[in-house]
Structure 1
């Protein structure tokens, strides 16, 4: 199966198209998760926190194995100071998300309406929830696109297997994200169809971000180490600022921690096996 997936991506000439296909897969798993709202109105909180923890583990593992480590390797091969692009890009990605977090109105899952962040607005709670997950998905799509762009540019350390592994890992953790958006909306009284549509819509930004990331790397090839680290910094910011706090608001913190460990292992295995 994995060989067939790699063969499919090898048959696609354009890295932008490869990135879009990969993130359509991640979007599809978000939609699949959101579709559970047709069968369930609520989810056991322990399962929910465990899945959120899993999401955080995947993102942290991907940030190192798929993004930071290749960025450092690329810098070493180029003869520069290996930690400089990684450090600058990582800081830039975190600051970029910090800026968006302060400007874009959004509300984290399980938070009260008065705890909404960003510019103050009277937007509906459902809109704020979707915006929070959309903000979360920007660095994920960007990471996939940057890696596919690096593969097409022929950079050592950027492999097609690694790019596919990243897309698979992000897709797996997008599945619970779809449920995490749609089910709270259903509890608020929205119809099943509206809850589903909001849930899957939160990930539609990923193909856009992926296409931009692949194009940017192909057009400005020297930025690849910085771009990889940028995506890593943005993802880590999301984990620390959003995902982990959400798992610590109930009594299932141990379950969330085990979920985090599981997600980290799955992403690490995927990257090492395919990368």
Structure 2
């Protein structure tokens, strides 16, 4: 596995900003800088310059520090072509199938609309790392602010198709509440019960639950498990298409 040093930077109330350092060529990127101050402090501590800012979507809690970072560091900003009109400061516009180079590593851009219409994710296959912001959470998924259930289901299926060992770096620390909700949908899943207990312990210690992995999410995240017969029976949707089952789970989470 190619090296990619990843630092989690907590921001705002529950956001994660990610600082990525590729040591072979010494390049550094930030993913979704919600605010500039914590990023600048991390760069100062590491003695690193900032080369790239990778943006997933237009929400303020993911781009709030971008313009200040550009002004302070001279970094280039990469972001979704579909959201160019809503994200000031983008230098490189990307969409499904495009590539972003960070030193010796290359990220594939995956279009993942649903939470927002222009949401994208960045997958570094050599580093086995996915930065999916508010599409896929640990034990959850994003609200459907600008999309519908079929759209989000297709996006989640793209991510579920990645290798099981892929580490999942999402945009927020929502895992504890997600775990408690997941148990109402899939209560007889022993791996989920085990994971929920682990999450409770980790959060009680004040530690992050991120990253997860694709394999772990497929085994425990109800939003990826719409085809599971036990979940379908519990929801009374045995014959429904997968996206309808997913949509019902999302509606229940919205009301939780």
- Looking at secondary structure, tell me which structure has more strand per residue: 2
Which of 1 and 2 has higher RCO (CA within 8 Å, sep 6+)? 1
TM-score by length of 1: 0.25
Would you tell me which structure has more helix in proportion to its own residues? 1
TM score, norm. by length of structure 2? 0.26
